[in-house]
Amino acid sequence: MSATLPNRVEEAPGFVARDRAQHPAAFTPGYKSTFLRAPKQALLSFDATLSERTGPAFGHNMLGELDNDLIVNYAKPGEQALGPRIVVHGHIIDENARPVPNVLVEFWQANASGRYRHKKEGYQAPLDPNFGGFGRTITDENGYYWFRTIQPGPYPWPNGVNDWRPAHIHFSIFGTGFAQRLISQMYFEGDPMVQICPIVNTISDPDAIDRLVARLDMNNTIPMDLRAYRFDMVLRGRRSTFFENKKEGN
């Protein structure tokens, strides 16, 4: 019935332009690894095409039962990882405040002593035999995610003579389009190491840094068990499509 046809073919809308002032520059001298790895030419800017408006989707069936429980997902049967027990939870929404459901969220971190389970790690703090240090989940229909872990420790790293990373958890997030792909790090409220970290300080806007700091959430803390930290993330928003680049209706 032609009367019910929409005015135009449905298309995945483009994205709000990325505000690069909210992100670190490519070259940030305080973080020495950027010296040889930062591109120096201008980025090629253009409105996202289908190649970036589309992106992969992941099904809940890829998840194992313990994927979002770092306290036990690597532990021997009946044992648990050592350290302050926490749950990290929050909403993933876009810049239009719309929830982002059914997207893959991955996380990795050091153990309670600040040690990573990695062959190139040189810190003398011990490994925890019951802690692997990574997990994943998929946001629910409201864009909500959560996982259980231990609070990681700070650790020294080779940059300046005496640089230490604040306690942090790495996040990798997919949106619905490849242009939304994002990797970041979550810090903890009240940690004095945050403000002196050369990697944190690759971001010049203090408000932007503050949005990487998870808040202690006593309301969701479970008595005699674990504390909660709230960490919401925002992905790029899609534009409204109105009359986008069309001289006339379809």
Q: Which of 13, 41, 72 has the alpha carbon at shortest distance from 236?
A: 13
Which residue's CB is nearer to other proteins, number 86 or number 133?
133
Question: Which contiguous run of DSSP H or E holds residue 227?
Answer: strand 227-230
Residue 179 touching other proteins (CB under 8 A): yes
Supply the minimum distance, in Å, between the C-beta of residue 227 and other proteins.
20
Our answer to whether residue 74 is catalytic in this structure is no
Site for other proteins in 15-54 (CB under 8 A): 15, 18-20, 22-26, 28, 31, 33-54
- What mask, x for binding other proteins by CB under 8 A, covers residues 217 to 246? ---------------xxxxxx-------x-
Q: Which of 205, 196, 113, 200 has the alpha carbon at shortest distance from 151?
A: 113
For residue 100, the cross-strand partners are: none
CA dist 37 and 27 (Å) reads: 8
Catalytic residue among 165, 229, 236, 238: 165
Our answer to whether residue 116 is catalytic in this structure is yes
Query: Residues 83, 114, 134, 138: which binds other proteins (CB under 8 A)?
Result: 134
For residue 87, the cross-strand partners are: 148, 228
Residue 152 touching other proteins (CB under 8 A): no
Which residue's CB is nearer to other proteins, number 1 or number 43?
43
Q: Which of 10, 12, 15 has the alpha carbon at shortest distance from 179?
A: 15
Which residue's CB is nearer to other proteins, number 87 or number 168?
168
* C-beta of residue 212 within 8 angstroms of C-beta of residue 173: no
Question: Which contiguous run of DSSP H or E holds residue 210?
Answer: helix 206-210
CA dist 174 and 248 (Å) reads: 34
Our answer to whether residue 23 is catalytic in this structure is no
Residue 211 touching other proteins (CB under 8 A): yes
Query: Residues 80, 130, 184, 241: which binds other proteins (CB under 8 A)?
Result: 184
CA dist 183 and 174 (Å) reads: 9
Residue 8 touching other proteins (CB under 8 A): no
Supply the minimum distance, in Å, between the C-beta of residue 72 and other proteins.
10
Q: Which residues are catalytic?
A: 116, 155, 165, 168, 170
